[in-house]
Homo-oligomer: A and B are copies of this chain.
Amino acid sequence: MNRLYHVPLSPFCRKVRLTLAEKKIEVELVEERYWEPSPDFLRRNPAGKVPILKMGTRTMSESQAICEYLEEISPQVPLMPKDADGRYEVRRLCAWFDDKFQNEVTSKLLYERVNKKVTGQGYPDSKNVKQGSARIKYHLDYMAWLLDQRRWLAGNEMTLADFTAAAHLSCLDYISDVDWHRHAVLKDWYAKIKSRPSFRPLLADQISGFPPAAHYADLDF
């Protein structure tokens, strides 16, 4: 049985969970307390991070590398376009969300509000929260600008770029940090992706001490 070591509110773990579910690859989820790394955990992954995917004898880390691998071994529900230009755009946007959005928004909001408390590192730094709340607007505007020209973020097909973005936004939506009234086109995009069967397990996630926002699991939010 395949096994994914993860934490529920990690955008990187969610990206892999969504990719596995879209490709109908069954996997057992194991919650990993990555902030208390055990020798066992570090043997599984020298980088000391989640997600880690065990498939047969392989132990894999790095969410983008894992998703590209899953795309290559299981291309039947394609999450990457066939042409080099299209694939470049998907990879550019994956890096945009996993690097730029992560540093400017996810780490400033989710990590301050949730991870710090869960891992016993104290209270949110209000300067960071303020910065994250300001920066997310710029990113939502950029996404709406893309979606004004395209059906999905990277083009006219749904790709890994959409799941990468949705992985980040769904974590922030859990703590009510996404203003869905800002752009109708963005809300429509999220409604489409949120109603996919692959999204259901994410909507059932519950973090002890952090109940989700009331609208979090609602498909008609």
Contacts and interface: CB of A to CB of B under 8 A. Distances in A.
B91 A65 contact: yes
B62 A92 contact: yes
Interface in A59-73: 60-62, 64-66, 68-69, 72-73
B142 A95 contact: no
Q: Which of A47, A65, A68, A100 has the most CB of B within 10 A?
A: A65
A88 B91 CA distance: 15
A46 B95 CA distance: 13
Contact of A69 (B62, B65, B84): B84
Contacts of A94: 65
B72 A91 contact: no
B92 A60 contact: yes
Interface in A72-98: 72-73, 84-85, 87-88, 91-92, 94-96
A136 to B, nearest CB: 16
Q: Which of A85, A88, A142 has the most CB of B within 10 A?
A: A88
A68 B46 contact: no
A87 B69 contact: yes
A65 B160 CA distance: 13
Given A69-B87, A73-B84, A88-B69, A100 B64 contact: no
A47 B100 contact: yes
Contacts of A92: 60-62, 65
A64 B84 contact: no
26 contacts: A47-B96, A47-B100, A58-B85, A60-B92, A61-B92, A62-B91, A62-B92, A62-B96, A62-B99, A64-B91, A64-B95, A65-B88, A65-B91, A65-B92, A65-B94, A65-B95, A66-B88, A68-B87, A68-B91, A69-B84, A69-B85, A69-B87, A69-B88, A69-B91, A72-B87, A73-B84
